[in-house]
């Protein structure tokens, strides 16, 4: 009898562990060249412009450009979104929180969908590229309003 109780307890622990792992709220690696944008359906190929939305239930929506993610926000319920993530132009492939990032719109930096929108984790990196490529810097709420 004792073994049956221990087996049930172990089964319950395994089940809850699987549920917890399945619902983790974090970025999901992008399979560049294979994953498609959740908004425009183009393949995601550029490590400097990809973005993701992660819901509170752990569902991940992947995007080939920050502007695709912003345009797709209207298709998501704001109260269900846990994370808005962008890749840092200065560190290709590294996801950072969009709400604290700095954005640069410059005609000399062409993003995959043509909005010329680039994201940076650090303001200093954005300012450095702005000096080289010109353009205008924006915070998250301001850049959302542009699209």
pLDDT digits (tens, 9 = 90+) for 79-99: 899 999 999 999 999 999 999
Task: Give CA separation, 6 vs 2, 9, 18, 54, 136, in Å.
Answer: 6, 5, 18, 36, 62
| All structural domains of the chain with their residue ranges | 26-146
Asked if 127 contacts 90 with a C-beta cutoff of 8 angstroms, the reply is: no
Q: Which residue has the tokens 């992660």?
A: 54
Q: Where are the beta strands (DSSP E) in 24-130?
A: 51-55, 60-63, 81-88, 91-97, 102-105, 117-120
Q: What is the mean pLDDT of residues 34-40?
A: 97
Specify the pLDDT at position 47. Answer: 96
Alpha carbon 107 to chain centroid distance?
A: 23
Q: What is the mean pLDDT of residues 119-131?
A: 98
pTM for the whole structure: 0.82
Q: In what order do the strands lie in the sheet with 51-55?
A: 60-63, 51-55, 81-88, 91-97
Q: Which two tokens stand for residue 98?
A: 């969009």
pLDDT digits 0-9 by tens, 111-124: 999 999 999 999 99
Alpha carbon 140 to chain centroid distance?
A: 13
Specify the pLDDT at position 23. Answer: 58
Question: What's the half-sphere exposure (Cβ side, CA atoms, 13 Å) at 73?
Answer: 21
> Which of 82, 77, 126, 83 has the alpha carbon at shortest distance from 101?
126
């Amino acid at each position: 009898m004792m073994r049956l109780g221990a087996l049930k307890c172990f089964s319950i622990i395994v089940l809850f562990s699987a549920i917890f792992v399945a619902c983790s709220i974090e970025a999901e690696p992008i399979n560049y060249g294979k994953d498609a944008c959740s908004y425009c359906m183009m393949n995601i190929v550029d490590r400097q412009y990809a973005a993701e939305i992660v819901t509170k239930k752990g569902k991940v929506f992947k995007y080939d450009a920050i502007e695709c993610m912003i345009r797709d926000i209207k298709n998501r319920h704001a109260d269900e979104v846990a994370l808005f993530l962008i890749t840092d132009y200065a560190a290709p492939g590294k996801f950072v929180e969009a709400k604290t990032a700095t954005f640069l719109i410059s005609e000399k930096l062409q993003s995959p969908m043509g909005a010329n929108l680039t994201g940076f984790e650090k303001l200093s990196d954005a300012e450095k590229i702005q000096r080289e490529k010109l353009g205008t810097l924006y915070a998250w709420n301001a850049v959302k309003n542009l699209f």
